[in-house]
Amino acid sequence: MKHVLAVLVENKPGVLARISGLFSRRGFNIDSLTVGETLDPHISRMTITVSGDASTLEQVVKQLNKLINVIKISNVTEDPAVMRELMMIKVQADPQTRSDIQQIVETFRGKVVDVSLDSLVIEITGDEEKLEAIKILLQHFGIKELVRTGKVAILRGSKTTRESNGTVPGN
């Protein structure tokens, strides 16, 4: 089972290394990890997608909580939240296929952000299902390269992650 954790951390050097090191030495699997500054420049926010059963998740959260630089962890997997990921795809395109590709991109509300004689670069945001769907379609034309950011999540409504008292076990 996949879990999405929103983790507020102090914006200090080495924090990312502490977190990624913790995952590897305890044998936890990270599916994706994104990190960026928050409104408060002293605090960064990580969105970590981790797979494992309930007891693994419990250990992940408890061990993360032990890191001094970790301020707060919220498990947003079950909460009503908007989750998005950005993907860019470089797809093969010749004059014959270009318009078909563009049609697909429009349907998915993506954007063509670069064009060359034999390829297009497509930018698309959405949840995991949507990104998977367009990927499968574009594979038909030949994907030369693909990059994705990993997931970010924000709670719906006026409640913030800081306030959410967490579905987090342990602390």
Q: Which stretch binds another protein (CB under 8 A): 15-23, 109-117, 118-126, 154-162?
A: 15-23
Query: What binding mask, one character per residue, do residues 95-124 give for another protein by CB under 8 A, x or -?
Result: ------------------------------
Q: Which is nearer to another protein, 35 or 71 (CB)?
A: 71
- Give residues with Cβ within 8 angstroms of 153, minimum separation 6: 4, 6, 47, 76, 81, 82, 83, 84
Complex with another protein: residue 1 or 54, whichever CB lies closer: 54
What single string gives the DSSP state of each residue in 16-80? HHHHHHHHHHTTPEEEEEEEEE-SSTTEEEEEEEEE--HHHHHHHHHHHHHSTTEEEEEE-SSS-
Residue indicated by tokens 């008292």: 165
Is the CB of 71 or the CB of 112 nearer to another protein? 71
- Interface with another protein, residue 13, by CB under 8 A: yes
- 61-80 residues near another protein, rule: CB under 8 A: 62-63, 65-72
Say if residues 166 and 71 touch (Cβ distance below 8 Å). Answer: no
Q: Is 30 in the site for another protein (CB under 8 A)?
A: no
The nearer residue to another protein, 15 or 93, going by C-beta atoms, is: 15
Contact residue for another protein among 10, 94, 118, 132 (CB under 8 A): 10
Give the interface size with another protein as a residue count (CB under 8 A): 24
Segment contacting another protein by CB under 8 A, of 5-13, 75-83, 107-115, 135-143: 5-13
Torsion of CA 50, 57, 61, 24, to 10 degrees: -50
Residues with Cβ within 8 Å of 16's Cβ and at least 6 positions away in sequence, in order, are 35
Helix (H, G, I), strand (E, B) or coil at 144: strand
Binding site residues, another protein, CB under 8 A: 9-10, 13-14, 17-18, 21-22, 25, 55, 58-59, 62-63, 65-72, 170-171
